Amino acid sequence: MSVLALCVGVVLAACACSGVMSGNPGIVAPGAPDPDWPDAAPAPGEGDPSEGLAEPDTDIPLLESSSLSDALSTASLETRFDPAVITQFETTRFTATIVFGVPIDSGATEILIAWSNEATLMGEDPESFEVSPTSPSRQWVDNAFAHPSGGYALSWTWDVTPLLAGDRTLNLRIRPTVVIDGEVVEEYADINEPVVLAVEVHPVQRDLDEVAAAAQSLELDLPEKMTVGEEHVVTITVPLEGHADTIGADVELSREQGSASASIEMAGQVENDATAGAESRAAIERTWTVTPTESGRLDLVLMTSVRGEAAGQELRREVHITAATTVVAAPPTFWELLQGPVVYITPFVALAATIVGVWQTRRRRKPTASKDTTEQHA
């Protein structure tokens, strides 16, 4: 007779005497309206719940037991995500399975289980995940199924949706309900430590973060000086860090309010322009023509909006970079240089011309005056 058959026989005999089972092969959970299952009982002994616990074996825990070693048995814990890659905003199915009734492999996660066990899953940060159970939180040994590798198993499942990017943590707790001499010993419910599960960030979010970091480290290359009225070409290249298939970017150049005025026009753009070489990376290149219209300090703002999409949710991050240059007045043209001295000496030339004109007028008048005097004497 197998161990499971022997165990079930013992349970059936015990339940027949106690009246716990009533035409139902399942075991009534603690807290159910059954007078034969106590709600709680004082914990026997003091100190660590594991003190005095006999060496656990691979036997199946009993529903009715007179000692802790009979009420608890060792089991291995298996966990998996489906799909295995955890992605932000995308729901994945998480399964926790306990396997018992067989020796535990070296290196496996080992826990203690009772006839009745409850499992809970939650994020270490409550805002990191949405967790929805898709199976009953409490499972009983008599509902176990044959495990493919041998022994018996119970499984719990949850739908898990990551809400925040980055390195996140899920905590899984398996809480056995220990019954000794017909009384529930609450002290042993937390005998298992929480199982910590690390969750990797969504790959699209990670790609977006890498491109945003590259955009943040860019320097807006401006000439030390610009000249009023002259066109100046400003070019910027935002590397996509090899993520052109998942990440895009919009780049805008503008004048900061309060700085010297200037006109800014888009001169050209190249999307996903791969540079040469074995380590070529796609990039977004933008070119603008900046024409200052007044002298003074010109502050320019480069705004890069990095975007991606995950499970229908738009991911976006804005990166701002500022740079300043000095705008000087345009130098005089050749005509203006030539015109300067002319304008300067024109008053003097005019004065000299006036003096010469007056002098010539007076000189012409003298002979006439002499002639008139001679005629009078005659």
Q: How far apart are CA 182 and CA 40, in angstroms?
A: 10
State the pTM of this model. 0.52
Map tokens 């052109």 to a residue.
244
Q: Angle at Cα 45 formed by Cα 43 and Cα 49, nearest 5°? A: 75
User: Which strand (E) or helix (H) includes residue 371?
Assistant: helix 334-377
Q: How confident is the prediction along the chain (378 residues), in pLDDT tens digits per residue? A: 444 443 434 333 343 333 333 333 333 333 333 333 223 222 333 334 334 333 444 467 777 778 888 889 999 999 999 988 888 888 999 999 999 999 998 889 999 999 999 999 999 998 899 999 999 999 999 899 999 989 999 999 999 999 887 789 999 999 999 998 888 888 889 999 999 998 876 778 788 889 999 999 887 778 889 999 999 999 888 999 888 888 889 999 999 999 999 999 998 655 444 333 333 457 888 899 999 999 999 999 999 999 988 767 788 899 999 999 999 998 877 666 666 666 666 676 677 777 777 777 777 766 655 555 555 555
Q: Give CA–CA dist 182/38, Å, rounded.
A: 7
Q: Cα(first)–Cα(last) distance of the chain, in Å? A: 178
Burial 181-198 (b: 16+ CB within 10 A, else e): ebbbbbbbbebbebbebe
